[in-house]
Amino acid sequence: MLIKLLAAIAPVLYLLFYIYMKDKKAPEPTEQLFKAFRYGVLSAISVMVVMSPFGPSGQPVGLAQCMKVSFFEAGIPEEFFKWLFLYILIWRSPQFDEYIDGIVYAVFISMGFACLENIMYVLPGTMGTAVSRALLSVPAHFLFAVIMGYYFSMGKFHPENRTRYMVLSLVLPVVAHGLFDTFAFWMETLGESRIYTAVFVVFIACDIWLWRRCTRLIRKSVLMSDEARAEAESLAFVQAQEAAEALPAALPVSGEWADTPIAIFRVKQDGNENAEAEGLTYKLLIECKDDSKIIINERDAFFAKEGTNYRLTLPAGEYTLRAVNLARYEQMISMKVNLTQNRRVTVAFSAWERVPAWVRTVAVVFIAIALYRWFMFVM
């Protein structure tokens, strides 16, 4: 049992390490990657829940039935839920700031899915099942994720063509997954024949082409990320020089200054020297229960220390405050504040966020396996 479990997990770990090393210049926070993996496990559970009312379809016979099963029972629901959890995880995340990030997070989500799926197939199967899935099925999930992540990033950083890229980020993985499973199911129905040999050759040739295509997409994403990072560093240097000439971002009510404030909140509105006198500015008191990065309107931000209060003077209006837990750097608190009077808000994170990421990930995997066994028992 232990050997089978290791055989099921090993290809997943290898592919995770492979894609992680591609982002070594600006690696993603470990806590966020663990969360992506958990989201992948949750996506697999979601597919089981959605597809359970339909029951097992049995072994497909013929090419048409193989395509039906492959697309409607595997390709569409599986890739949709991976895409959905990818969107939920990173679309509004400040960590999603490079082209390669879309591929990295998509792969971690897909490998979470593949890990649970592989365990469910390998444990009741044989070592032959483990080897075949390690060579074909698990890498296939990796390739689908590379396609999804590449176009997802293109949609994020090219808003002028966002709709096109976002559609491609979902449709292309669905098509690739559906065709992959179609070939796999069809070969099982053909048996040993000349047709089987021809289909197998085409299948392997397409798999090799897909690997070459995806490695090019990874290299292209790394190159674009490097170029964008160099441009951003140059711009940040200029902005830092300008910011150094202005007032600091947040004034602590008590305690020490926040670590390197990076935003400037202006007391007076532009072009209005008497803004405060006219009652257009208000005090916003932020009480920090955890070390946090406070983000104002997706633009200005500062680092806040635990147990320290910060007072901002802002023009009247509606503000969106988001807080990122620096201990985990993943969980965000989001709230809207309408400043028509002086306000007080508290930033605190749940106890769940204080549990180590690897413990939460293992717990989610075990819960997912238990749910799967329960589904199998009920059905």
* Lowest-confidence pick of 142-156, 210-224, 269-283, 317-331: 269-283
- Alpha helices, H only, the chain: 2-22, 30-51, 63-70, 76-90, 99-122, 127-132, 138-157, 162-190, 194-244, 357-378
- Tell me if 279 is assigned to some domain: yes
- Regarding whether 311 and 212 lie in a shared domain, the answer is no
Question: Looking at residue 278, what is its pLDDT?
Answer: 44
Residue with tokens 């932020």: 286
Q: Which range has highest mean pLDDT (208-222, 258-272, 287-301)?
A: 208-222
What's the CATH code of the domain at 340? 2.60.40
The more confident residue out of 369 and 132 is: 132
* Lowest-confidence pick of 45-59, 116-130, 256-270: 256-270
- Regarding whether 270 and 227 lie in a shared domain, the answer is no
> Is a pLDDT exceeding 90 seen at residue 254?
no
Q: Tell me the torsion sign for CA atoms 299, 300, 306, 311.
A: negative
Average confidence (pLDDT) over 225-254 = 62
- Tell me if 162 is assigned to some domain: yes
- Tell me if 241 is assigned to some domain: no
- Regarding whether 46 and 112 lie in a shared domain, the answer is yes
Question: For residue 325, which of 358, 359, 353, 300 has the smallest C-alpha distance?
Answer: 353
- Regarding whether 229 and 294 lie in a shared domain, the answer is no
- Tell me if 243 is assigned to some domain: no
- Regarding whether 360 and 335 lie in a shared domain, the answer is no
The more confident residue out of 64 and 1 is: 64
- Regarding whether 203 and 125 lie in a shared domain, the answer is yes
> Is a pLDDT exceeding 80 seen at residue 244?
no
- Tell me if 246 is assigned to some domain: no
261 touches 302 (CB < 8 A): yes
| b/e per residue 31-48 (b: at least 16 CB within 10 A) | bbbbbbbbbbbbbbbbbb
- Regarding whether 332 and 289 lie in a shared domain, the answer is yes
- Regarding whether 299 and 215 lie in a shared domain, the answer is no
Question: For residue 83, which of 143, 163, 17, 167 has the smallest C-alpha distance?
Answer: 167
Give the count of beta carbons closer than 10 Å to the beta carbon of residue 244: 8
Give the count of beta carbons closer than 10 Å to the beta carbon of residue 57: 12
- Regarding whether 278 and 222 lie in a shared domain, the answer is no
Task: Give the C-alpha separation, 93 to 254, whole Å.
Answer: 30
- Tell me if 184 is assigned to some domain: yes
- Regarding whether 163 and 16 lie in a shared domain, the answer is yes
State pLDDT tens for residues 319-355. Answer: 888 888 777 666 678 888 888 888 888 888 877 766 7
For residue 239, name the pLDDT band (cuts at 50, 70, 90): low
Domain that holds residue 171: 2-235+356-378
Question: For residue 23, which of 12, 13, 33, 37 has the smallest C-alpha distance?
Answer: 33
